[in-house]
């Protein structure tokens, strides 16, 4: 109960409301499906249905400065990452950080979010401008992924972390199965991928160290030339290098 009360301002939407527009918000287009059906698929009954409505609203469907789902996407991304990271620790209790990071990156990346959105048929519920619909917006990976994160935020803002967790673990069940196998070494995968692309070999360097002598935290930077730069942290140089390599692999995947 305390958690729900603490989220009261979120449920009311005050902290995520944009500066009011002088123009009224356009009504959802007639071909948008009943959001009540989606709430059933989300396994959550909304006390504040406006939160779900906003999560489904793409920027193309609102007037300038009108409410859309972009700020909710920001929150949903963090909620998703927290739930996924917590579940990974439970499912793989003996895995090292270098093995966990690639799993986490794969489970929260844009493509996975879009796949989950397709599994629950999210596209048909979205509020999009007619022009965006005509361009296939209901199946665009970026739009679906962003909306999926915004919907997670709506669940969290309306009911707290528990219902958000229930939905995420159910909807991401197949994705978790896909990362059950121990991933290949991130440094090896990165080097092989760069070699295939004809790019320079990655260079690793320690750029920071925090913590005590008994519990250090290293920060390592990997530089792969034109392929980019990324950083990672870990309790040892090795795990920090793996985390940095994993971060650069994720960046390369998102850029392609």
Query: What amino acid positions are annotated as catalytic residues?
Result: 77, 149
3-state secondary structure of 47: coil
160: its two tokens: 């707290």
Structure tokens, 97: 């950080």
List of residues 6+ apart from 80 with CB closer than 8 A: 108, 113, 149, 152, 168
Look at residues 248, 187, 198, 246 and name the one whose alpha carbon lies nearest to residue 223: 248
C-alpha 248/C-alpha 50 separation (Å) is 38
CB atoms within 10 A of CB 226: 8
Positive or negative torsion for Cα 101, 107, 109, 48: negative
Strand-strand pairing, 216-223 and 203-211: antiparallel
Residue 128 CA to residue 62 CA, distance in Å, equals: 9
Q: In a 3-state reduction of DSSP, which class is residue 209?
A: strand
Contact assessment for residue 147 and residue 118, using Cβ atoms and an 8 Å cutoff = no
- CB contact set of 5 (below 8 Å; sequence gap of 6+): none
8 Å CB contact between 138 and 124: yes
Distance in angstroms (rounded) separating the CA atoms of residues 63 and 67: 8
């Amino acid at each position: 109960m305390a958690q729900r009360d603490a989220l009261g301002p979120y449920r009311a939407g005050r902290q995520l409301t944009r500066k009011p527009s002088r123009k009224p918000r356009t009504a959802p287009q007639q071909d948008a499906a009943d959001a009540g059906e989606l709430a059933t698929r989300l396994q959550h009954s909304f006390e504040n249905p406006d939160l779900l409505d906003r999560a489904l609203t793409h920027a193309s469907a609102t007037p300038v400065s009108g409410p859309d789902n972009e700020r909710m996407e920001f929150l949903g991304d963090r909620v998703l990452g927290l739930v996924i990271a917590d579940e990974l620790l439970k499912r793989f209790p003996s895995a090292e950080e270098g093995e966990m990071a690639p799993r986490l990156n794969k489970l929260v990346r844009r493509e996975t979010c879009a796949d989950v959105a397709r599994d629950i048929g999210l596209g048909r519920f979205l509020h999009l401008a007619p022009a965006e619909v005509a361009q296939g917006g209901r199946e665009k990976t970026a739009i679906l992924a962003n909306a999926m994160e915004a919907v997670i935020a709506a669940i969290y803002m309306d009911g707290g972390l528990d219902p958000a967790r229930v939905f995420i673990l159910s909807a991401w069940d197949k994705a978790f199965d896909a990362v059950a196998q121990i991933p290949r070494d991130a440094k090896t995968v990165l080097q092989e991928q760069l070699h295939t692309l004809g790019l320079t070999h990655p260079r690793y360097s320690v750029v920071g160290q925090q913590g005590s002598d008994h519990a250090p935290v290293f920060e390592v930077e990997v530089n792969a030339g034109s392929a980019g730069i990324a950083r990672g942290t870990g309790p040892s140089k090795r795990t920090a290098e793996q985390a940095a390599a994993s971060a650069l692999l994720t960046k390369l995947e998102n850029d392609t």
